[in-house]
Each structure stands twice: as C-alpha cells, then as structure tokens.
Amino acid sequence: MKKGVLLVNLGSPDSPNPKDVKKYLGEFLMDERVIDVPLWARTLLVKGIILNTRPKASAAAYKKIWWDEGSPLIVLSERLQNGIQKEINVPVALAMRYGSMTIKKGLQELVDKGVDEVFLIPLYPQFAMATTETILVLAEEIRKANFPQIKITDLKPFYNNPQYIEVLSNSVARHLKGKDYEHLLFSYHGVPERHIRKSDITKSHCKPSDKENCVCCKTPSPAHEFCYKHQCKEVTRLVGEKLKLEPGTFSTSFQSRLGFDPWLQPYTDRTIERLGKEGIKKMAIVTPAFVSDCLETLEEIAMEGEEIFHEMGGKDFTTVPCLNDDKEFVDLLSNWINDWATSENVTA
C-alpha cells in the first residue's frame, strides 16, 4: 500500500472582497456542526440575517490582514506543508474544510500519486465538533462516495501530548524572552456552551457554564476525550507547569463569539479589559487553538485586543505567533507521520 498525508485546516475566502467572504461564510456557517440548529433555523439565521449583515465588516477585517501572497491562514498552512514535505518521503497534501482547497481535491491529489492509505491530520490541537469532527465526518463521506479503495487514519487531538506541550512552551518562551510581562493570557477560539454538552459522551459530566474554577474540567472523565473546554484548559495548565509560571500570572479565556447564546467564558475581550482596569501595564497573549495565524489572531487579538488594552490604560501588549512553520513543530509532525508510516496503529 502507498501512504500519504493530508493536512486539513479551516480555510479562508478566495479574496478579502465582500462577495468572496459571503460565499465562504455561507459554506462555513451552514455547516450543521458549526451552527448546530435545525436546517430551517440555520437557513433563516445564516442566509436571512448573517449573510446580509456580516460579510462587509468581515471583508474589511480580512483586508487589514491579507498578504500579497493571499490569506495568512492558507499561506502559513502551505509553509507548514512544505516544511513537513522536506522532512519526509511520503507525499503531503493540504486541504481546507471550507473554501476552494477542498478535502476532495486533497484526496484526489494523493490518489493521483498512487496513495491508498491516508494519514489525515486535522490542524487543531483540541477536539471540537466545529473543527475536528466536521473534518472527519466530511472526509469519510468523500472517501465512501469517491475513493472507496483508500483507507483513512486520523491523528487524534494532541493537546496534552508532552512533545507538543514542549514545542509550544519553547515557542512561548522564545517569543517572550526579555519581556517582563505581568500576565500571560491563553486565548482560545470559543464555542457555544451547547456544543460542549452535545459532545459530552457521558451526557452529564461537562458543566460548560462554570467559568474560572471549572471543577468538571479537573475531574477525570471519559467525557474529556471530546471536551474542547477541558482540552483548552489542559494546554494552559501544562504550559504553565512547563514554564513554571506563577499562579495568578496566567489565565484562560475564549474569543470570537458569534450571536446571543452563551459561549465559553471568560470572554477574551472582557478579560483584556479587566486586566487593563486592574492596573496590568504589560500583558502577553498566546492563541493555542490555532496552528496558523489567521484573522482571529492577527486582527481580533493583535489589533482589536491591543486597542482595548491601551484604552484601559495598558502599555505593552505582546502577541505570541501561532506555531505556523516553527522548526520544532515541523519536526514533531514529521516524526508522528514517520511513526505512522512505519507502524500500523499510532496516536500522538
């Protein structure tokens, strides 16, 4: 059997123009694992309201971060792909869950190279219904319909893998060297609380509305295999431990909420505001839910977040880049791929 790798990230519009942004958001937000309400309600909400109001503002935000080469998320994912390809012998393809670089095209590219055994790597350290699950479900549908001869194995979420924690901690330490920040905020993309309850396989463990001191997240449970909140909090705890951060000098928050339902809290914008109001003058922020820098890190955090902090009296606001094509991260993924390529059942 010939092996190959498919990296899958979220995706971006083809351009930062409102028409392309609208098309992209339409596909993204009509995904039943992203806006998980009945089809009629999703259609009303997305096509009736969001797509008539949001694309203009989103396009303006995309324009602020767009590069000559294209969307930062796509360009940085391509750099990661190229970095890995230089390290390993099996072909590495890249696809996006939404937009033009489809999973079908990615699988086709591998099949055209004779591949019949695919290692599928969702580029998300933590599991979420709106990210990992939607990729795996769609990839399986495409496999069944178009490539029934191939076998797909997926890389499990690697949020608590000690090597990953080391690579992330090294990156944080390197970027914050010499900066005497008073607080390090770990900001993760949010999800509606409802998503956490839906993914709870025990149906009773997760209490997504517990904010600071989430007891369920600290109590061992099989639910944690699919609990985005637990997995985010674990990344913060493990990096804090590795970097020997003092309690009280680092915390977790959740960004990018959409709509009126409660999302995971505390919210990042309000946390930045609170830190500024409490007299913190120098803060740093890291965004470990994203492997590649994107709209949510470059605009919402590095631009809007900094503005909020300054408005509240803060002075220094340092953002730690995502792992992107960090050499240690490229080596780590390449090692996992090599392990998979040389043995059968490998998880991170």
Smallest gap from residue 44 Cβ to ligand L6N33NVT (A)? 15
Give the binding range for Fe ion (CB under 5 A) out of 113-121, 168-176, 199-207, 273-281.
199-207
289 near ligand L6N33NVT, judged by CB under 6 A:
yes
296 is in an annotated binding site: yes
For ligand L6N33NVT, the binding residues in 10-29 under the rule CB under 6 A are 10, 12, 25
Q: How far is CA 40 from CA 130, 134, 278, in A?
A: 19, 20, 45
**Which position among 90, 135, 295, 332 is part of the footprint of ligand L6N33NVT (CB under 6 A)?**
295
Query: What is the distance between the alpha carbons of residues 169 and 238, in angstroms, rounded to a whole number?
Result: 9
- 57: CB partners within 8 A, 6+ apart: none
Output the smallest distance, CB 123 to ligand L6N33NVT, in A: 9
The rounded distance, in Å, linking the Cα atoms of 222 and 133 is 17
> Two tokens at 19?
């028409």
Strand 151-154 and strand 250-255: the pairing is unpaired
Distance of CA 248 to the CA centre of its chain: 25
Q: Is 73 in the site for ligand L6N33NVT (CB under 6 A)?
A: yes
Q: Please answer whether residues 232 and 239 qualify as being in contact, where contact means their C-beta atoms are separated by less than 8 angstroms.
A: no
Q: Which of 101, 121, 123, 217 binds Fe ion (CB under 5 A)?
A: 217
220-225, Cβ contacts within 8 angstroms, sequence gap of 24 or more: 225/127, 225/201
Question: How far is Cα 41 from Cα 257, in angstroms, rounded to an integer?
Answer: 19
> What's the DSSP call for residue 222?
G
Q: What does 308 interact with, of ligand L6N33NVT, Fe ion, none (CB < 5 to 8 A by kind)?
A: none
Asked whether position 258 contacts ligand L6N33NVT by CB under 6 A, the answer is: yes
Q: Does 60 bind ligand L6N33NVT (CB under 6 A)?
A: no
Q: Which helix (H) or strand (E) segment is 87 a member of?
A: helix 72-87
| Sequence-distant (≥ 6) Cβ neighbours of residue 86 within 8 angstroms | none
Q: Is 183 annotated as a binding residue?
A: no
Query: Does the footprint of ligand L6N33NVT cover residue 80 (CB under 6 A)?
Result: no
Which among 147-155, 162-170, 287-295, 335-343 is the span making contact with ligand L6N33NVT, rule CB under 6 A?
A: 287-295
* Stretch of 146-154, 159-167, 212-220, 282-290 lying at the interface with Fe ion (CB under 5 A): 212-220
CA distances from 76 to 72, 311, 321 (A): 6, 31, 11
The residues of the shown chain that bind Fe ion, judged by CB under 5 A, are 206, 216-217, 230
Q: For binding to ligand L6N33NVT (CB under 6 A), which residues are involved? A: 10, 12, 25, 34-35, 54, 58, 71, 73, 124, 128, 130-131, 189, 191, 195, 256, 258, 289-290, 294-296
